[in-house]
């Protein structure tokens, strides 16, 4: 999807997150399915990989 489509004006509403696809040909992200409400997010962060200067375990 992202190979042919250009989105210059995408706005993430307050209280939502933007989830990116993984750049495969058939990958889909929030530009196609809409932003995700924060209250729908489940899980915990255990590892940060970006930025690389902060790579590591999250306490």
pLDDT digits (tens, 9 = 90+) for 21-49: 777 777 788 888 889 999 999 988 899 99
Positive or negative, the CA dihedral 16, 43, 31, 23 is positive
Please report the pLDDT score of residue 14 as a whole number.
96
Backbone angles phi, psi at 31, to 5 degrees: -65, -25
Please report the pLDDT score of residue 1 as a whole number.
44
**Residue 29 counted as domain residue:** yes
With b for 16 or more beta-carbon neighbours within 10 A and e for fewer, the 13-46 pattern comes to eeebeeeeeeeeeeeeebbeeebeeeeeeeeeee
**Residue 9 counted as domain residue:** no
**Residue 52 counted as domain residue:** yes
Token output for 28: 């889909």
**Residue 1 counted as domain residue:** no
Residue 2: band (very low, low, confident or very high) from pLDDT cuts 50, 70, 90: very low
**Residue 38 counted as domain residue:** yes
**Residue 11 counted as domain residue:** no
% the chain with pLDDT above 90? 41
Range of the domain at 46: 16-57
**Residue 2 counted as domain residue:** no
């Amino acid at each position: 999807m992202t190979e042919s489509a250009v989105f210059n004006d995408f706005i993430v509403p307050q209280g939502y997150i933007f989830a990116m696809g993984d750049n495969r040909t058939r990958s889909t992200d929030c530009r196609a399915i809409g932003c995700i409400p924060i209250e729908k997010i489940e899980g915990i962060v255990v590892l940060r990989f970006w930025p690389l200067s902060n790579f590591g375990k999250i306490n």
